[in-house]
């Protein structure tokens, strides 16, 4: 296994003569699609994404000719509003940071707002199911999940169906509130989904944000976490399993701009089959004002077969020395032959041994998903993926940046 571990600091690169290293914090954001240039594929933000497969989401040619269906199975106390573009609650968690997100923001016609009122603790998880517009159709959407002050709630956001879809999802967690949310991308094989997820934490708020990507032709999820005030705690977890031909991209940005906040990122992915491609970008910025920040991010990829490729780029920028701790780790490895040999030497057949190792790889993350319905479903989904694991594994191409 290639392991690149850095236990801190030196990620603020000096400006080189050719490409000045701009801070991640300086990236342009805005609500209007026309304010963004059409990406050409060389931009840092787009260099891993196969633009041709975006079906025009990035260049204005993807005209909305369908709609997504949003079904909410709400716990008691939880309110659901369908609102127009002018509702002044919309957009508070953050502005789009790329052209597709801005296109979605400029294009949606109605938004769904799910609100957990202050000082409530719903008795069960709220399920929000987004069903795609259908094969050959395109839709834009907007969703906001609000957990008001001192509440404690779990929400499952489930994406299923077919079509092309771009959206912004806002997670607004109020003062002292706690939200556990799982966003599952379980699309049909044809689906293209580009989603910017804006995580906004109030004073002393706690957010556990889990992204699970299994299905779809191309899925690109960009979660950005921001702390409005001190004391926030965000845990960002991810689990993905890319099969032949699938492109799964997760671009994270944690913006520490206020003191005494914590962030912990852990994404794990497995890849199998020809041209299975995963991309993980983990940008963490600790601004000068963000004293006593504590942050750690980790990405692990397990490449199961030849022809699959995992890109992993952690990036830590630190503008103050007054922090509790900061670190990152990234590793992409092929299947460990020693583990396989050990299990087989105890009589366990090769295919079963492989499954044990992959299950073990994801175990750490699955144990952190504390919404029981989701965990069981994910365990079953991983089993289903493993059914397809080819029994012969040759040397795959692995890339760790």
Partner 1 sequence: MSTLEIKDLRATVATDEGAKEILKGVNLTVKSGEMHAIMGPNGSGKSTLSYAIAGHPKYEVTGGEVLLDGENVLEMSVDERARAGVFLAMQYPVEVPGVSMSNFLRTAATAVRGDAPKLRHWVKEVKDEMAKLEISGEFADRSVNEGFSGGEKKRHEILQLALLKPKFAVLDETDSGLDVDALRVVSQAVNEVTQSTDMGVMLITHYTRILKHIQPDVVHVFAGGKIVESGGKELADELEENGYVKYIGKPEPARI
Interacting residue with partner 1 among 347, 391, 392, 394 (CB under 8 A): 347
Under the criterion CB under 8 A, does residue 394 sit at the interface with partner 1? no
Under the criterion CB under 8 A, does residue 337 sit at the interface with partner 1? yes
User: How do strand 79-83 and strand 111-116 relate by DSSP bridges?
Assistant: antiparallel
319 CB burial (10 A radius; 0-12, 13-18, 19+): middle
Is the Cβ of residue 161 or residue 269 nearer to partner 1 in the bound state? Answer: 269
Binding part of the chain for partner 1, among 145-153, 177-185, 194-202, 332-340 by CB under 8 A, reads 332-340
- The SS3 call for residue 254 is strand
Under the criterion CB under 8 A, does residue 342 sit at the interface with partner 1? yes
Under the criterion CB under 8 A, does residue 339 sit at the interface with partner 1? yes
Structure-token match 């077919």, residue found: 162
Under the criterion CB under 8 A, does residue 368 sit at the interface with partner 1? no
190 CB burial (10 A radius; 0-12, 13-18, 19+): middle
Under the criterion CB under 8 A, does residue 350 sit at the interface with partner 1? yes
Is the Cβ of residue 274 or residue 350 nearer to partner 1 in the bound state? Answer: 350
Q: For residues 258-317, which are near partner 1 according to CB under 8 A?
A: none
- The SS3 call for residue 376 is helix
> Is 263:234 a contact under the CB 8 Å cutoff?
yes
Q: Of the candidates 251, 328, 243, which has an alpha carbon nearest to the alpha carbon of residue 48?
A: 251
Q: What is the nearest approach in angstroms of partner 1 to the Cβ of residue 350?
A: 6
Count, residues near partner 1 per rule CB under 8 A: 23
DSSP 364: H
> Is 157:170 a contact under the CB 8 Å cutoff?
no
Binding part of the chain for partner 1, among 4-12, 201-209, 304-312, 336-344 by CB under 8 A, reads 336-344
Distance set, CA 5 to CA 84, 279, 305 (Å)? 47, 18, 24
Interacting residue with partner 1 among 51, 188, 244, 357 (CB under 8 A): 357
Q: What is the nearest approach in angstroms of partner 1 to the Cβ of residue 36?
A: 42
Binding site for partner 1 (CB under 8 A): 337-339, 341-350, 352-353, 356-357, 359-364
């Amino acid at each position: 296994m290639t392991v690149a571990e850095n236990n801190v600091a030196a990620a603020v690169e000096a400006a080189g003569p050719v490409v000045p290293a701009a801070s991640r914090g300086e990236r342009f954001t805005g609500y209007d699609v026309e304010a963004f240039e059409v990406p050409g594929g060389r931009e840092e933000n787009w260099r891993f994404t196969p633009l041709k497969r975006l079906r025009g989401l990035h260049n204005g040619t993807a005209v909305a000719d369908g709609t997504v269906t949003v079904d909410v199975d709400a716990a008691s106390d939880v309110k659901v509003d369908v609102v127009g573009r002018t509702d002044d609650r919309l957009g508070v968690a953050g502005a789009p940071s790329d052209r597709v997100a801005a296109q979605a923001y400029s294009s949606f016609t109605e938004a769904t707002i799910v609100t957990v009122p202050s000082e409530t603790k719903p008795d069960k998880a709220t399920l929000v199911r987004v069903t795609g517009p259908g094969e050959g159709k395109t839709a834009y959407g907007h969703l906001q999940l609000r957990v008001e002050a001192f509440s404690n709630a779990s929400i499952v956001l489930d994406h299923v169906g077919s079509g092309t879809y771009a959206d912004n999802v806002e997670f607004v967690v109020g003062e002292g509130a706690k939200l556990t949310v799982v966003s599952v991308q379980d699309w049909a094989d044809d689906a293209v989904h580009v989603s910017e997820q804006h995580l906004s934490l109030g004073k002393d708020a706690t957010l556990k944000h889990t992204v699970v990507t299994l299905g779809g032709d191309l899925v690109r999820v960009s979660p950005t976490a921001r702390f409005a005030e001190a004391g926030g705690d965000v845990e960002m977890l991810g689990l993905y399993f890319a099969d032949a031909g699938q492109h799964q991209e997760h671009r994270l940005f944690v913006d520490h701009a206020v003191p005494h906040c914590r962030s912990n990122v852990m994404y794990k992915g497995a890849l199998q089959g020809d041209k299975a491609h995963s991309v993980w970008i983990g940008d963490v910025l600790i601004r000068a004002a963000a004293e006593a920040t504590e942050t750690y991010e980790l990405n692990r990829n397990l490449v199961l077969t030849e022809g699959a490729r995992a890109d992993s780029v952690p990036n830590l920028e630190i503008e103050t020395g007054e922090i509790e701790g900061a670190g990152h780790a990234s590793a992409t490895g092929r299947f460990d032959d020693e583990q396989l040999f050990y299990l087989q030497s105890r009589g366990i057949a090769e295919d079963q041994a492989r499954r044990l190792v992959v299950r073990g790889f994801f175990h750490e993350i699955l144990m952190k998903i504390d919404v029981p319905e989701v965990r069981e479903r994910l365990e079953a989904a991983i089993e289903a993926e493993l059914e397809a694991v080819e029994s012969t594994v040759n040397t795959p191409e692995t890339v760790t940046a």
